[in-house]
Amino acid sequence: NAGVTQTPKFQVLKTGQSMTLQCAQDMNHNSMYWYRQDPGMGLRLIYYSASEGTTDKGEVPNGYNVSRLNKREFSLRLESAAPSQTSVYFCASSGGISSYEQYFGPGTRLTVT
Amino acid sequence: ILNVEQSPQSLHVQEGDSTNFTCSFPSSNFYALHWYRWETAKSPEALFVMTLNGDEKKKGRISATLNTKEGYSYLYIKGSQPEDSATYLCALHTGTASKLTFGTGTRLQVTL
């Protein structure tokens, strides 16, 4: 049981390049989330998917797109990376109807130069 | 945008000290309050999920209380140990969607 996995762990991009961050969970959870973590800002929600087939914007969605490929997988795409998107990205999932406790992946450290 | 505030931002205590910190949230939007522990270079891990006013939860030396009417929760650590060093996050769930709003965390450092 791997929990929540993310790939890659580290990535360096040049301004304007695109990339997709992958996330998968094996806990049969309905909901999945993408956060970014910046110094002094805590965790900020980028996009989330309450259930397979739905996605919604979070607090900081600009510059990102997401795909809920199936129940297990939720990807985050940067179409044209900018230095302001340098951050650590965490994927999370939750499945409980009453608790919404979230389980986090190990994070992806992205640097945009 | 919901305002979830944590204080203090950081805390430095000695081994054996007991400590506590605060999470404040708008009481009108309450469904559940989560506490997470986040060690450096790791991922956040859930400590408690609290839903009822007056709730008290305990896990080892760590406990939490909840006051939904006034919009705050306290996290207590009794007899701090170096392994308690981490950032402690609280998060508000309003129940209108499956998402959480996180505070910016309290960073605790415990030294010998």
Q: What is the pLDDT of residues A4-52, one digit of tens each?
A: 999 999 999 999 999 999 999 999 999 999 999 998 888 999 999 988 9
- What is the DSSP secondary structure assignment for residue A73, as one 8-state letter? B
Contact B97 A56 (CB under 8 A): yes
Residue A95 pLDDT: 82
Q: Number of Cβ pairs closer than 8 Å across A and B?
A: 56
pLDDT tens for B35-75 read 999 998 899 999 999 999 999 999 999 999 999 999 999 99
Q: CB distance from A56 to chain B under 8 Å?
A: yes
Residue A39 pLDDT: 84
Nearest Cα neighbor of A4 from A73, A87, A101 is A73
Q: CB distance from A52 to chain B under 8 Å?
A: no
CB A48 within 8 A of CB B99: yes
Contact A104 B43 (CB under 8 A): yes
All residues at 6 or more sequence positions from B20 whose CB lies less than 8 Å from its CB, including other chains = B74, B75, B76, B77
